[in-house]
């Protein structure tokens, strides 16, 4: 989430079975006529799928993801431990808002180095699924190609690095057989050219990896989970980008209505709205920094989500379920789930979920 104080507080899917019938074998006549070959039973198709510009569920019905982000794993450090609010009660309180998806931002270093971290991610995923919600796993930070770089020096790398490929190969091996998990490749790509976004290249002193490379690595491992690919300009803008090659691809945007380049309908249409006629789009993060301090947040988010619903997006996920104040920005004022004024708008739109 693009903020001026970025470190201040600091795949998917249910089983999809296509019902099929076994063609009965006709009686074998008492002759030398060869026995007809039985028609093989078609293999079931698992998980959510992209069909045209829609995401469909196990019944072939379009599905829209509306939920919130639960941060904390993205700034995990072994010396600090896990945030206390990353518990079962928090997941239940999120469900009480009628969310149907929870986004978990992750950091590739502890996933690679700390088995306890992986177990914590698995535990949170299990709790979320117990509440009948889906999960987005988001790679929030790379390491600028240096696994030893101190966390405080990373300062939101503009692109994934070579270690990010290993991260996604590992994550897809752990969760690739769970169709309720969505993979969000990289939270907020920024300050690179479109060809680097797609194919990688040298960025700020390290070798970055493009979105196509990571998609290919996940698919080569056999995972068919939905993959979300965010745009440039801190994840916001797809207007100058080529499309990624692959199946079950969703385009994501991080839309923050406090920034001049992303605070009007025309800008939303230009950045990602144009995609919705041909591809599924999810706002994997949205918010309004300082919106509950200056009073502009509720109206701005109301306008954004109204436009999102009208343009046919396949989902939106609010930032963030975290008690951190206006600048974070938070959508709750306490861990009991009391909403901020902007959070009240988010909660209202979550009631559109069945």
User: Which CATH number covers residue 193?
Assistant: 3.20.20.80
Question: CA 130 to CA 185: how far, in whole Å?
Answer: 25
pLDDT digits (tens, 9 = 90+) for 279-305: 999 999 999 999 999 999 999 999 999
Domain assignment present for residue 303? The answer is: yes
Determine how many CB atoms are found less than 10 A away from the CB of residue 180: 22
Q: What pLDDT sits at residue 20? A: 32
Determine how many CB atoms are found less than 10 A away from the CB of residue 247: 11
Q: What distances in angstroms separate CA 4 from CA 7, 23, 154, 327, one per listed residue? A: 9, 63, 15, 9
Residues 196/244, Cβ–Cβ less than 8 Å:
no
Question: CA 46 to CA 43: how far, in whole Å?
Answer: 9
How does the average pLDDT of the chain come out, rounded? 89
**Residue 250 sits in which domain range?**
49-350
Domain assignment present for residue 23? The answer is: no
If one counts the domains in the chain, the total is 1
Domain assignment present for residue 34? The answer is: no
314 pLDDT tier (thresholds 50, 70, 90): very high
pLDDT digits (tens, 9 = 90+) for 44-103: 445 899 999 999 998 999 999 999 999 999 999 999 999 999 999 999 999 999 999 999
Percentage of the chain beyond pLDDT 90 is 85
Domain assignment present for residue 27? The answer is: no
- 5, pLDDT greater than 80: no
Q: What pLDDT sits at residue 58? A: 87
Domain assignment present for residue 36? The answer is: no
Domain assignment present for residue 118? The answer is: yes
Report the predicted TM-score, pTM, of the whole model to 2 decimal places.
0.88
Domain assignment present for residue 59? The answer is: yes
Domain assignment present for residue 224? The answer is: yes
């Amino acid at each position: 989430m693009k903020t001026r104080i970025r470190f201040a507080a600091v795949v998917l899917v249910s089983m999809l079975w296509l019902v099929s019938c076994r063609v009965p074998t006709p009686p074998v006549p008492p002759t030398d006529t060869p026995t007809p070959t039985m028609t093989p039973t078609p293999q079931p198709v698992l998980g959510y799928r992209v069909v045209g510009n829609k995401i469909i569920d196990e019944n072939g019905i379009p599905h829209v993801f509306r939920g919130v982000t639960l941060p904390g794993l993205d700034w995990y450090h072994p010396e600090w431990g896990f945030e206390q609010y990353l518990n079962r009660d928090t997941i239940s309180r999120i469900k009480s808002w009628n969310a149907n998806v929870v986004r978990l931002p992750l950091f590739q270093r502890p996933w690679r180095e700390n088995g306890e971290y992986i177990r914590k991610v698995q535990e949170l995923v299990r709790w979320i699924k117990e509440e009948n919600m889906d999960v987005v796993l988001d790679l929030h930070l790379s390491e600028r190609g240096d696994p030893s770089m101190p966390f405080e020096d990373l300062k939101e790398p503009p692109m994934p690095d070579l270690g990010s490929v290993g991260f996604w190969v590992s994550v897809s091996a752990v969760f690739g057989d769970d169709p309720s998990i969505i993979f969000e490749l990289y939270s907020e790509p920024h300050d690179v050219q479109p060809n680097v976004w797609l194919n990688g290249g040298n960025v700020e002193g390290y070798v970055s990896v493009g979105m196509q490379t990571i998609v290919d690595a996940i698919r080569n491992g056999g995972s068919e989970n939905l993959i979300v690919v965010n745009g440039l300009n801190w994840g916001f803008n797809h207007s100058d980008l080529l499309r990624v090659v692959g199946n079950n691809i969703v385009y994501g945007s991080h839309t923050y209505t406090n920034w001049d380049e992303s605070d009007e309908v025309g800008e939303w249409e230009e950045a990602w709205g144009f995609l919705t006629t041909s591809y599924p789009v999810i706002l994997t993060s949205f918010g309004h920094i300082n919106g509950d301090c200056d009073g502009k947040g509720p109206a701005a988010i109301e306008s954004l989500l109204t436009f999102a619903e009208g343009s046919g997006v396949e989902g939106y996920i609010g930032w963030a379920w975290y008690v951190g104040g206006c600048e974070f920005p938070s959508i709750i004022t306490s861990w009991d789930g009391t909403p901020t004024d902007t959070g009240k708008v988010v909660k209202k739109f979550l009631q559109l979920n069945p």
